[in-house]
Chain A
């Protein structure tokens, strides 16, 4: 399994032809207390860099973008009941959705763990 990051603070785990997407620990820290997550519907075809989900914190709404294009296969239903999972476990239990990988080459522009860490440190 390989994990990549976007400069919009999404992470994506790639396992074969399926990818899992969520937001990073840095992102949840910036957002503060999350009260609602609006997930895409299963079957939606997402486009890389376009709106995929919305996170509502106490203070504001923020868009979450699809790191790569593909069809949504599954969403994390636990977030409906417990959106705070994104705060407590952003990079594991607080995942957002799983999608098929339409074009593996879209992964090439993303950062690995080390590059993302350096990117965040520079913010």
Chain B
């Protein structure tokens, strides 16, 4: 039997680093693999209810704790930080209110995707002081970025190169990042941190002092479920993980389940569904190009994206559903009759739906929902249909 390691977008040529929760995962019975330059848990021990499918289902039905400390956490500060970022991303940042989060993209001049990321307006409110006669006011503009682990060093280089000198960028490499995802994440977190979930809806973020631990909590995630991402100083990460795991709803989940969950949620994975050879329009991420900024421009890659918007693209990212059980995986070719029309960029078996699903880039004549196509897997042609994404409906909490 061939033994294939976890599919990984990068060559692991250096010794993988250790993350703050590395030993914690091993104590939980995790199987560790090199990923994004670190040893990371792919799944947990079967005996403790682990395994990719079990962890996937637990996330859909209860709540799971994912360690995503490999992701890059950056803080961009200084007067004009929003405008400086807006020169590099197509999303509106200057209109982003404090405590609000936006998904956006780092693009190169050709409109190619350098990375996809979350930007939070982390500007703090400074309380007034009556005795000193000062009024409350907003502090220095600050933007908290979460970028992909495998690309963070390139992103940092790109930002350093293009942000003006008066803007400060700090790599928060002493922070761990824990994601709590699932329909019961809020009720579990409410027991640990009273009132916190009530203060947030999807794509909102706050700072919270949990005893002596200064946290940043964001209501977002990468599973399609309601959930939270908690940034915590590395020294407190294990204690926080233990504290969360004490809640009955919460079990740990690894990278394997994270990948199958995000695929069901129709969320692209950088290095697979997105890279510098793809652009936001082809990738079906036009929602990330703020409407007004499509006209006004002033962001890197604008001309290339504007051309795609007006003239259309040669190919587009679509969802595909397959019958049967045989999954089509990344790299599989897509056909319409005898014509090769595209390529699968992510694919696997959907535990929730019980059949295989995939994301592929296909020629723009074949993107209509319901289009019948075929995917070649080991010299066999599997019937597939273009389907709307997400494959499994999102259940984000947008307020009651």
Interchain CA distance A33-B54 in the complex, whole Å: 9
Residue on A nearest B43 in the bound complex, by CB: A32
* Contact indicator B1/A35 (Cβ below 8 Å): no
CB of A74 closer than 8 Å to a CB of B? no
* Contact indicator A38/B378 (Cβ below 8 Å): yes
CB of A104 closer than 8 Å to a CB of B? no
* Contact indicator A59/B7 (Cβ below 8 Å): yes
Interchain CA distance A27-B1 in the complex, whole Å: 8
User: Interface residues of B, CB < 8 Å — how many?
Assistant: 27
* Contact indicator A62/B327 (Cβ below 8 Å): no
* Contact indicator B327/A35 (Cβ below 8 Å): yes
A9, A23, A30, A32: residue with the most chain B Cβ atoms closer than 10 Å: A32
Within 8 A of B (CB), among A32-68: 32-33, 35-36, 38, 54-65
- B378 contacts across to A, CB distance below 8 A: 38, 54
Given contacts A58-B52, A59-B7, A61-B4, 10 further A-B contacts (CB under 8 A): A23-B1, A29-B46, A32-B43, A33-B51, A36-B325, A36-B326, A56-B327, A58-B53, A58-B260, A83-B325
- A103 contacts across to B, CB distance below 8 A: none
Interchain CA distance A30-B4 in the complex, whole Å: 10
CB of B13 closer than 8 Å to a CB of A? no
Interchain CA distance A18-B305 in the complex, whole Å: 63
Tell which of A23, A29, A30, A36 touches B349, judged by Cβ atoms closer than 8 Å.
Answer: A36
Interchain CA distance A35-B302 in the complex, whole Å: 43
Interface of B is mostly: loop
* Contact indicator A63/B52 (Cβ below 8 Å): no
B333 to chain A, nearest CB (A): 15
Q: Offer 29 A-B interface pairs, CB within 8 angstroms, sorted by A.
A: A8-B2, A23-B1, A29-B46, A32-B43, A32-B52, A32-B53, A33-B51, A33-B52, A33-B53, A33-B54, A35-B325, A36-B324, A36-B327, A36-B349, A38-B378, A58-B52, A58-B56, A58-B256, A58-B260, A58-B349, A58-B351, A59-B259, A60-B5, A61-B4, A62-B1, A62-B2, A62-B3, A65-B1, A83-B325
CB of B6 closer than 8 Å to a CB of A? yes
* Contact indicator A63/B348 (Cβ below 8 Å): no
- A8 contacts across to B, CB distance below 8 A: 1-2
CB of A91 closer than 8 Å to a CB of B? no
Within 8 A of B (CB), among A1-37: 8-10, 23, 27, 29-30, 32-33, 35-36
Given A35-B325, A58-B349, A59-B7: A9 and B1 interface contact (C-beta under 8 Å): yes
Contact code string B166-184 (vs A, CB < 8 Å = 1, else 0): 0000000000000000000
B32 to chain A, nearest CB (A): 13
B246 to chain A, nearest CB (A): 27
Residues of A near any B CB (own CB < 8 A): 8-10, 23, 27, 29-30, 32-33, 35-36, 38, 54-65, 83
- A30 contacts across to B, CB distance below 8 A: 3
Interchain CA distance A18-B52 in the complex, whole Å: 36
A65 to chain B, nearest CB (A): 7
- A10 contacts across to B, CB distance below 8 A: 1
Residue on B nearest A56 in the bound complex, by CB: B327
* Contact indicator B1/A38 (Cβ below 8 Å): no
Interchain CA distance A56-B326 in the complex, whole Å: 7
Given A9-B1, A54-B378, A62-B4: A32 and B256 interface contact (C-beta under 8 Å): yes
* Contact indicator B1/A58 (Cβ below 8 Å): no
Interchain CA distance A88-B185 in the complex, whole Å: 31
B1, B324, B325, B348: residue with the most chain A Cβ atoms closer than 10 Å: B1
Interchain CA distance A56-B1 in the complex, whole Å: 12
Interchain CA distance A64-B2 in the complex, whole Å: 7
* Contact indicator B1/A59 (Cβ below 8 Å): no
- A65 contacts across to B, CB distance below 8 A: 1-2
Contact code string B24-56 (vs A, CB < 8 Å = 1, else 0): 000000000000000000110010000111101
* Contact indicator A63/B2 (Cβ below 8 Å): yes
Interchain CA distance A36-B46 in the complex, whole Å: 19
CB of B262 closer than 8 Å to a CB of A? no
A91 to chain B, nearest CB (A): 14
CB of B385 closer than 8 Å to a CB of A? no
Residue on B nearest A123 in the bound complex, by CB: B3
Contact code string B306-330 (vs A, CB < 8 Å = 1, else 0): 0000000000000000001111010
B254 to chain A, nearest CB (A): 10
Residue on A nearest B325 in the bound complex, by CB: A36
Interchain CA distance A33-B354 in the complex, whole Å: 13
Residue on B nearest A32 in the bound complex, by CB: B52
* Contact indicator B349/A60 (Cβ below 8 Å): no
- B1 contacts across to A, CB distance below 8 A: 8-10, 23, 27, 55, 62-65
A56 to chain B, nearest CB (A): 6
